[in-house]
Structure 1
């Protein structure tokens, strides 16, 4: 029988595995077979090698010594090293390695190997180095894993997914010099015999879940050079004997809960260059003996409870490069002796209680970074040559130093939240490397310097909450890298310079709460990366720019400018009319001076020929305008009369629609289209059912007594051409579902468009929830059916590639049998100019339902915006509360309220109090959680409506073995 290549390979692997097994049982094989070739081929068979890194491993070779990643003893030709670091291998470690009895080094780091580690690996008694770091190994390690560790000197299992306790057999490996088990999920306490490993030089158990106290006895570790126990849950006191480990160079016990005082014996650690104890519970006076640790280059004691003053002895640390003392209770000033710390690069003593002047010695260090925020320092002295300077949130006062230009290499300057006064020095413009400047929340006055344009590397400029006056300089347009411009809450005047439109990298602009005047440059609409532009509370006027970001600008970003117009402020702009002709009554000719002779006793009005012509022309224009207005009114009256006649006519438009310039076109998709009172309904307020962002809705009846609802669109200027309008309406007319309000027809003229819907008698869900009479409210079953029916209708719309855009309780109607019917769907398909700018202004009544992507120009509007609105609707139905409720001194957002209640474990309290005691918690709670999931800020995290329907049906009727949404 002929074997395929796959069968041959499987047979070979099975044979090799069998031979390995036999060799382990019998102890010998045919001397002609190479154990190392056999073992490595079996080892390879358990791996996936997507990059063919092991292609040179051939089972037909007599020896593997020429294979990639393999090293052999030149005398015995036996494999001693196997190094496969970063080979992109996956799979597991099989039994093949057991054949490599002379293997000294096994390194499989930076792959994607999985599975657990069994005791068989430890049978390789000649192993000295094991490195399995940066893989995906998991599970616990057997306690006897290292029982036969032989001559093992280094083991690294870092950056895997190991769990359980650290194996106790680790303490029996007397030859170990390096242990790295960091970045796993080991738990429990340290092995009791860990300090018995007298030859240990490096111990790294950081970033695990270890707990308990650090065992005593560390003082015997005479060879220890580095210890890292950071990012665990160790408690108890700091190990007192650590000062006896005289060879220690690096100590990191940060991010634990270690308490007590630092032992004075630590001053003996003169070789230690790295000491990090940040984020613990250490207390007491800042140690005066710290200056004895003269080898220190990094000292981080931040986030503890040290108190007192920084001692003069710290000046002995002449190698110190990084000093972080933030987040303690230190007081006083920094000692002058620190002037000896000439290598200092980063200094952070924020969030203490230090006071006094900023010491002069700082300015001569040549440091690259000084952070001194959150203290109570006073006067601002001269500054050093720095790259990063953060002195924010202090009590600095006085004027801004004009010698700032000496900091030619400065890249980051933050002096915000201080009490600086006086003008901003123009010399800042000479800082060519500066990319962030934050002078906000001071008392700076004067104007913004013209020289700012010289700081052409500037990316962020924040000057808000000062007392700045004058105009925004046009020179700011030279800062071509600017992404953030915040000038709000000042006293700036004048126009917004057109030069800002040249800043194509701009993303965030806030000019609010100033006294800016004039119109907005139209070129701002061309800024490609703009995501926010706040000009609220100024004195700007005219039309907002059209296009780009300004089509989606939030109304809240433009409020407080009474003379602005455009859709965002819900105010139409006046038509552009010719300027009136102004005549000089004192002029006798076109070139005559505008004065009268002194000897005239009375004024004479002498008009030139050109003035008379102008007056005549103006009169003609006025008469023409009046005539056109009268004619226009008559035409409108005639059109309305024609429309009324058409709506009450008896022609069968469903089969033979007609189009007439005077009467318009009426089309019904089915049934008898004859109206008896259709025209009357549009003129009678008593027949009005309600008004929305797109128009008013009226009730009328056909001649056969069948009631219909007519929506009169009020966005005529945005409606498509008749051909496109009809095509889209007919598509919507074909959408049929028991939970959707059916579109039955339409009426068209260029100036009037009507949509004819089925009439739903039960009123809106909004009225049932918020305007119902006492004792007449929706039961839980009715609410659940409304939620489920609404979900089904939206799922059906999305299957038809229709986005609703305007989900809210007033658009969900309840029929006579209690079934929900969703209306107002698909209107965006009729209006080509209905982008986010127009849409957001048209559905302001849907505040609280709008998905956050409406406010972000770069995020695509998809069906997931309907899912968000549905999620809000779900919470509204279950809680009986409006999406946004305005209290006397607060605004309550429903989503936030329910989410907070869920986090606090009291979500059941959110259910409508009218239902208390009459609802199943095993349905109501999962439904509210589903609503919260649907209102995720990230669209991709929201389910689609088909999934929502499935979840709701599962909540109502959970199947056996399936978990309810919880």
Structure 2
């Protein structure tokens, strides 16, 4: 009986589906004998196409005469027909089938926040009678079908949060006069907006954010004249052009979000005539000019963000009139002047960010009497004391950044009243006090950054009383005394940097209790004794530097210590390491008597600590003998070198005369015989021949072009005599050094950079009109092509090749950072700048070209580095005048993530923009590391992949000083590839 029951029920379901099919195919007369409810049939077929893991649709019984009693279904009371289906957030998956079309009276269909996939059926003709359609936050793909043109009665349409793509049909909005709300956000739509959009004249809400729309919307869509709009969101697209003064037409507008586009020109002067505006975000664009005075009329404004533009004016004195403000961000502009006292009138303000401007004067005391949760005034020119009021609203402040100003005086002890403080950054000022012990009262503080001040005294013993501190940075002060044993209370500490102080005593063993510690920097202090062997048990430690102290003895056996290089150890009294040439001094009761001058060279001029222990007379005798030998040898060597150089000069001069003549037509056009050369050619390798390069028309034509980068266009040029090719980059001349001597000096520095993992610069050609760089050429393409743009027939990169690429890039960057003073910074690390040879050895190209710029300003960064989204370090985008090697470390970390995961650094997903580093960090914290690894690379070693991922997360830290140096990265990769046995001991 049980078997019969199942068969009978299954047969009934097949019968119902068959009847529905017959109803679709037959006319009314043919189907008149079938007296089944159309709504039951339609919903039954709809249910058969989907999966319901939680059995939410269990009440949908095909044996029922009516579906009106089913869950999530509403019917009209007069005729019993289905009027509404609401299945939001039930975890359903599958397809949206044609069964839904049987519901002739359906007015509301809401399927949001599920996992429906596939395309939106072209037969989705239910649209012409719906009033509300919500398919948001599913996995729908493909383009919008033409049937969507028939939206005569539709009032609400939401397709956001899917994977829909393509351009919108120009006729899409021909019949949209009933539409009140439209959202296509968080998809992959592209191209210009349809010219018919203006016909949706009754729209109240329009959200097209987080797509790839482009073009100048002023003259195409008529958006600015849709005078019934209440909310307009075009953010995170590629729109360009100016915003016209016609914003006045949007009289009822309450929300205007245009952030992260390419809008330019001045802000509309009449924007203040939108009296109902409560949210205005124009950040991350190219707006310039002064702030319109009409803004002061926006008394309802709650959110106001103009950050990362090029506004130039004094800080608005009327800002205190915007009494409803809760969020104010004017950072990364060119605002000048002082903060008005009226800013203290913003009693509702919770978030204030004015960083990276040119503001001067003192900080108004009234700011600390507001109920702020976040205050960032960093990277300005504020001076005077840190003002602290006496308001009970201290408890609201969570994040305070006053770094990179000219603040003086003491750190107020009253800061201990900020009970909920999580982030405190006072670095790069002129503060001269001791560290107040009250800072240890912070129960929630995770970051304390007091670097580069003039702080003195001891490190407070209770600085980690709360145990919540993750980053402690006290570098570059005048702190003295020992590192307190209580440092072991910082159980959550991730980064501890105390370098460039006057700390004494030994490194406390309690540091070994910091099991989460990844970065330990103690260089340039006066620490003595041996490094506690217990530190070798810190498994998470990735970077250590103890150079230039008075340390002695053996290194810890385990962890990262056996792989530390010379730069992390040098300048000590006697650390025992085969990497150091100095003496090995053990901590025994009677220390060995050493010649102090034998180690002076390794001390690097840091400190002269000991007097000579060798008798002066004997020392003097030895010095004379050595001096005599050196003088005689030097004399012979100098005479020999003069002869050799003289002969070489003759040969080189003749060769350069030939080369200069040969390349003259390449870069300056053909000239008459006997005419002087039009430009300056310099080749660093005299073996190069320019025969066969030809004239400029051949050299710089489109066919020879192989790529275009941040700094110019690259061409592939044959050298016929040698059967090889060279790459020639035609530099974009905007903002380049204009004087040939200065240009020559900078390019020669880059020409000296010779490393197996760098594309070598072979020479250059300069005229006032054109500048060319001549480099070696690699014919295996770049990493961008191999990783993201390969065809189906090309084998994906294996893990061994990916690790080889990661290690090679690290070595190349380490060479640039640590072999030159000042270091050569790349600024633009990304896969398209990583070329590969036939064995997949990486070679970094385009390094150091920012040296050829006369300045590196905010708008230059904004324009030049838009193509490097995801690789650009936060401080490079927002504080472009205060950058260092750590910018490259950030880009390198992102590149590691890309190689391991196979994903691009930025993806437009469900939650606005999905940043790869954030995605991986969450996966690691949740223990889902395997989900991040690119499955296409085949087999891989978990003991290598997982540590490499963790290294990438350290490199992409938002705080530059928390990132390791590239030398430290190389050490870490060596440890990952060849783990040090735990039984290994250092001699």
1:258 corresponds to 2:263: yes
Please point out which of 354, 372, 379 is paired with 2:377.
372
Alpha-carbon distance between aligned partners in 2 of 1:407 and 1:251, rounded to the nearest angstrom: 35
| Aligned-pair CA distance for 1:300 | 0.4
1:301 corresponds to 2:306: yes
Alpha-carbon distance between aligned partners in 1 of 2:490 and 2:817, rounded to the nearest angstrom: 45
SS at match of 1:468: strand
SS at match of 1:234: strand
The 5 Å alignment of 1:769-780 reads none
Cα displacement string for residues 496-541 of structure 1 (whole angstroms, at most 9, x for unaligned residues): 1233333344333221222210123344344454443332332222
Correspondence for 1:164: 166
Correspondence for 1:146: 149
| Alpha carbons 1:101, 1:124 under 8 Å: kept | no
Alpha-carbon distance between aligned partners in 1 of 2:405 and 2:51, rounded to the nearest angstrom: 59
Correspondence for 2:388: 383
| Alpha carbons 2:23, 2:31 under 8 Å: kept | no
Judged with a 3 Å threshold, the aligned counterparts in structure 2 of structure 1 residues 161 and 16 are, in CA distance, closer, same or farther, namely farther
| Alpha carbons 1:566, 1:572 under 8 Å: kept | no
Correspondence for 1:957: none
1:97 corresponds to 2:27: no
| Alpha carbons 1:204, 1:228 under 8 Å: kept | yes
| Alpha carbons 1:872, 1:935 under 8 Å: kept | no
Cα displacement string for residues 545-588 of structure 1 (whole angstroms, at most 9, x for unaligned residues): 344565666665444435233688799989999999xxxxxxxx
The 5 Å alignment of 1:265-284 reads 265-284=270-289
| Alpha carbons 1:515, 1:538 under 8 Å: kept | yes
| Alpha carbons 2:280, 2:303 under 8 Å: kept | yes
1:32 corresponds to 2:35: yes
| Alpha carbons 1:244, 1:268 under 8 Å: kept | no
Correspondence for 1:183: 186
Correspondence for 2:430: 419
Correspondence for 2:576: 565
Alpha-carbon distance between aligned partners in 2 of 1:229 and 1:376, rounded to the nearest angstrom: 34
Correspondence for 2:245: 240
Judged with a 3 Å threshold, the aligned counterparts in structure 2 of structure 1 residues 55 and 551 are, in CA distance, closer, same or farther, namely farther
Correspondence for 1:429: 440
Bigger mean CA deviation after superposition, 108-117 or 336-345: 108-117
Please point out which of 459, 473, 497 is paired with 2:470.
459
Identify unmatched segments of 5+ residues in structure 2: 592-722, 725-755, 757-796, 844-894, 902-932, 942-987
The 5 Å alignment of 1:394-543 reads 394-527=405-538, 529-543=540-554
Correspondence for 2:200: 197
| Alpha carbons 2:152, 2:176 under 8 Å: kept | yes
Alpha-carbon distance between aligned partners in 1 of 2:464 and 2:495, rounded to the nearest angstrom: 15
Q: Which has the higher contact order (CA 8 A, sep 6+)?
A: 2
1:345 corresponds to 2:350: yes
Alpha-carbon distance between aligned partners in 1 of 2:408 and 2:67, rounded to the nearest angstrom: 75
Alpha-carbon distance between aligned partners in 1 of 2:314 and 2:513, rounded to the nearest angstrom: 52
Alpha-carbon distance between aligned partners in 2 of 1:449 and 1:889, rounded to the nearest angstrom: 38
Alpha-carbon distance between aligned partners in 1 of 2:278 and 2:828, rounded to the nearest angstrom: 52
Alpha-carbon distance between aligned partners in 2 of 1:350 and 1:899, rounded to the nearest angstrom: 26
Correspondence for 2:53: 50
| Aligned-pair CA distance for 1:276 | 0.4
The 5 Å alignment of 1:391-790 reads 391-527=402-538, 529-547=540-558, 550=561, 557-565=568-576
SS at match of 1:238: coil
Judged with a 3 Å threshold, the aligned counterparts in structure 2 of structure 1 residues 871 and 279 are, in CA distance, closer, same or farther, namely closer
| Alpha carbons 2:111, 2:134 under 8 Å: kept | yes
1:114 corresponds to 2:125: no
| Aligned-pair CA distance for 1:195 | 3.1
| Aligned-pair CA distance for 1:299 | 0.2
Cα displacement string for residues 826-850 of structure 1 (whole angstroms, at most 9, x for unaligned residues): xxxxxxxxxxxxxxxxxxxxxxxxx
SS at match of 1:419: coil
Alpha-carbon distance between aligned partners in 2 of 1:912 and 1:445, rounded to the nearest angstrom: 46
| Alpha carbons 1:103, 1:124 under 8 Å: kept | no
Judged with a 3 Å threshold, the aligned counterparts in structure 2 of structure 1 residues 33 and 189 are, in CA distance, closer, same or farther, namely same
Structure 1 length-normalised TM? 0.59
Please point out which of 173, 176, 194 is paired with 2:176.
173
Correspondence for 1:727: none
| Aligned-pair CA distance for 1:163 | 2.1
SS at match of 1:351: coil
Structure 2 length-normalised TM? 0.58
| Aligned-pair CA distance for 1:947 | 11
Alpha-carbon distance between aligned partners in 1 of 2:817 and 2:365, rounded to the nearest angstrom: 53
| Alpha carbons 2:338, 2:360 under 8 Å: kept | yes
Alpha-carbon distance between aligned partners in 2 of 1:371 and 1:472, rounded to the nearest angstrom: 30
Alpha-carbon distance between aligned partners in 2 of 1:265 and 1:398, rounded to the nearest angstrom: 44
Judged with a 3 Å threshold, the aligned counterparts in structure 2 of structure 1 residues 394 and 74 are, in CA distance, closer, same or farther, namely same
Correspondence for 1:75: 78
SS at match of 2:409: strand
Cα displacement string for residues 427-464 of structure 1 (whole angstroms, at most 9, x for unaligned residues): 32333332211011223233323342545432221001
| Aligned-pair CA distance for 1:202 | 0.7
Correspondence for 2:21: 18
Correspondence for 1:675: none
| Alpha carbons 2:547, 2:570 under 8 Å: kept | yes
Alpha-carbon distance between aligned partners in 2 of 1:873 and 1:124, rounded to the nearest angstrom: 56
Please point out which of 318, 322, 345 is paired with 1:317.
322
| Aligned-pair CA distance for 1:298 | 0.6
Please point out which of 823, 829, 833 is paired with 1:903.
833
Judged with a 3 Å threshold, the aligned counterparts in structure 2 of structure 1 residues 39 and 272 are, in CA distance, closer, same or farther, namely same
| Aligned-pair CA distance for 1:179 | 0.5
SS at match of 1:137: strand
Judged with a 3 Å threshold, the aligned counterparts in structure 2 of structure 1 residues 142 and 886 are, in CA distance, closer, same or farther, namely closer
| Alpha carbons 1:13, 1:45 under 8 Å: kept | no
Correspondence for 1:600: none
| Alpha carbons 2:235, 2:260 under 8 Å: kept | yes
Judged with a 3 Å threshold, the aligned counterparts in structure 2 of structure 1 residues 31 and 124 are, in CA distance, closer, same or farther, namely farther
Judged with a 3 Å threshold, the aligned counterparts in structure 2 of structure 1 residues 550 and 5 are, in CA distance, closer, same or farther, namely farther
| Alpha carbons 2:799, 2:938 under 8 Å: kept | no
1:63 corresponds to 2:63: no
| Alpha carbons 1:20, 1:38 under 8 Å: kept | no
CA-based RMSD of the aligned residues comes to 4.3
Judged with a 3 Å threshold, the aligned counterparts in structure 2 of structure 1 residues 410 and 142 are, in CA distance, closer, same or farther, namely closer
Please point out which of 121, 124, 134 is paired with 1:131.
134
| Aligned-pair CA distance for 1:95 | 1.7
| Alpha carbons 1:867, 1:945 under 8 Å: kept | no
Judged with a 3 Å threshold, the aligned counterparts in structure 2 of structure 1 residues 904 and 503 are, in CA distance, closer, same or farther, namely closer
User: How many residue pairs align between the two structures?
Assistant: 641
Identify unmatched segments of 5+ residues in structure 1: 581-778, 781-808, 810-862, 876-880, 914-932, 949-966
SS at match of 1:313: helix
| Aligned-pair CA distance for 1:36 | 0.5
| Aligned-pair CA distance for 1:483 | 2.9
| Aligned-pair CA distance for 1:182 | 0.8
Alpha-carbon distance between aligned partners in 2 of 1:886 and 1:205, rounded to the nearest angstrom: 43
Q: Which has the larger radius of gyration?
A: 1
